[in-house]
Amino acid sequence: MTPGPAPRICRAEPGAPSRPGVMGSGISDMGEATAPPRKRLFIRSWGCQMNVYDSGRMADVLAPLGYGPAAAPDAADMVILNTCHIREKASEKLFSELGRLRAVKREREATGGRMVLAVAGCVAQAEGAEITARAPWVDIVLGPQTYHRLPEMVARASRAAGAVVETDFPAESKFDHLPEAGAAAQGVSAFLTVQEGCDKFCSFCVVPYTRGAEYSRPAAAVLAEARRLVAQGAREIALLGQNVNAYHGDAPGGGTWGLGRLLRELAEIPGLARLRYTTSHPRDVDDALVEAHRDLPQLMPFLHLPVQSGSDRVLGAMNRGHTAADFLRVVERLRAARPDLALSSDFIVGHPGERAADFDATLALVREVGFAQAYSFKYSPRPGTPAASAPHAVPEADKDARLQALQALLRDQQEQFNRSLVGRTIPVLLTGAGRHHGQVAGRSPWLNPVHLSAPGALIGQVVPVAVLAAHTNSLSGTLAAGAAMADSSQRREEPAPA
């Protein structure tokens, strides 16, 4: 699930709006406090939007202990590195940062101070023993399902001779023990985790081993948190989950709700203009979800739907549980329900056993579907996954050539999609100040970043923007006539730009 907008064909997970102070290209940092706290906390997040959400909740958990955000790790009393294990070099990036922080920690101790250093997230879950062996100056190692225990871990770390390690999968849900989301609102666009874990066990993926089995939060808890976010100023909420459309949460009054029903209930919240969700699995797109795309103007006409490969042979080796034709049928159903729907996806090239003909099938699928954006990577083995020990490894030179060819095609499609918006007036949710004086930034219904000159007082509103120019990763335009407009492309007679 992904960080900021640098080339969108090359990142890990699809974008959703970022929490203020949690920004960056692949790395997100909790920002600076407006008033000095009693203790200073710095959290650095790598990877997906769920990690950004988790970092915010860790800050909420530690707030009662007096921790508030620091501007930089050097100024912090506690530093948390919230890690991602999707990419091959994630561990080495972590150990490089830990080496730098070791020097900071020593300097603090030399002056009689103390800095608590914690490693959280999926690398901590998968490689906790290696972290404590290679970096014994780390005080706390915690997995994604245990951060509700952070206050206890901090207390134990103050007494322990070695690292406090919590990488089990507790029987209780961490969500049952978390405080309400902090008063430091996420801003106009907010994340809300509704589902965690994965039961799909794709051959290349570590998520089932680092995040555990699929778990869905009760619908009442999700609705309550969504109402709090809207009360704090959110106009758009992105629902998060490793397989978010596998959501089946306990319903108020008994039974369960799927994601389609949950979206319908969320759409009833006054003041909530936009809904999104990520990341999805093609196997979990059911009729109720398709109908939600048809019926809900608040549900944005943009969907991230990973396919990974266009070859049935490779999809079988990946244990994806669907064929290329299955994926195309899902796309057809969604586009029939919502003609203006645009798609994003994930692709892996060079999975063990992938042949030239398999890669050609991937290119054929990309040409048939047409993507507004996509994320593509070379296969890299993740320890403990079935694919890591699979035979018939693809040479790196072949992986490089295939990735280059795929990304060129995806880039052309993305640029074509963006150009198709030039000359149109589209609804844009203004989310914050732009890079230049007098400029504001926002998001189109299709998640394009949009830059324009407009009064800052309009931030938080959905305004009509005449698109003047398209760039690889963004649009620029001007405020069209009228102060605001109804959101969510209610002009559904227009199909998605081609």
**105-114 CB burial, b ≥16 within 10 A, e <16:** beeeeeeeee
Q: Is 205 annotated as a binding residue?
A: yes
Q: Is 202 annotated as a binding residue?
A: yes
Angle at alpha carbon of residue 178, lines to 176 and 181, rounded to 5°: 125
Compute the chain's Rg from CA coordinates.
Answer: 22
Residue 137 in tokens: 């100056």
Contact 346, 376 (CB under 8 A): yes
Contact 92, 63 (CB under 8 A): no
Q: Is 198 annotated as a binding residue?
A: yes
* Cα–Cα distance measured from residue 172 to residue 219, given in angstroms and rounded to the nearest whole number: 17
* Cα–Cα distance measured from residue 138 to residue 116, given in angstroms and rounded to the nearest whole number: 8
Q: Could you write out the three-class secondary structure of the chain?
A: CECCCCCHHHCCCCECCCCCCCECCCEEECCCCCCCCCEEEEEEEECCHHHHHHHHHHHHHHHHHCEEECCCHHHCCEEEEEECCCCCCHHHHHHHHHHHHHHHHHHHHHCCCCCEEEEEEHHHHHHHHHHHHHCCCCCEEECCCCHHHHHHHHHHHCCCCCCEEECCCCCCCHHHCCCCCCCCCCCCEEEEECEECCCCCCCCCCHHHHCCCCEECCHHHHHHHHHHHHHCCCCEEEEECCCHHHCEEECCCCCEEEHHHHHHHHCCCCCCCEEEEECCCHHHCCHHHHHHHHHCCCECCEEECCCECCCHHHHHHCCCCCCHHHHHHHHHHHHHHCCCCEEEEEEEECCCCCCHHHHHHHHHHHHHHCCCEEEEEECCCCCCCHHHHCCCCCCHHHHHHHHHHHHHHHHHHHHHHHHHCCCCEEEEEEEEECCCCCEEEEECCCCCEEEEECCHHHCCCEEEEEEEEECCCCEEEEECCCCCCCCCCCCCCCCCCC
Contact 418, 471 (CB under 8 A): yes
Determine the length of the chain.
Answer: 498
Q: Is 10 annotated as a binding residue?
A: no
**Closest by Cα among 476, 363, 498 to 426:** 476
Residue 289 in tokens: 């979800």
Residue stretches of the annotated binding site for [4Fe-4S] cluster? 48, 84, 122, 198, 202, 205
Residue stretches of the annotated binding site? 48, 84, 122, 198, 202, 205
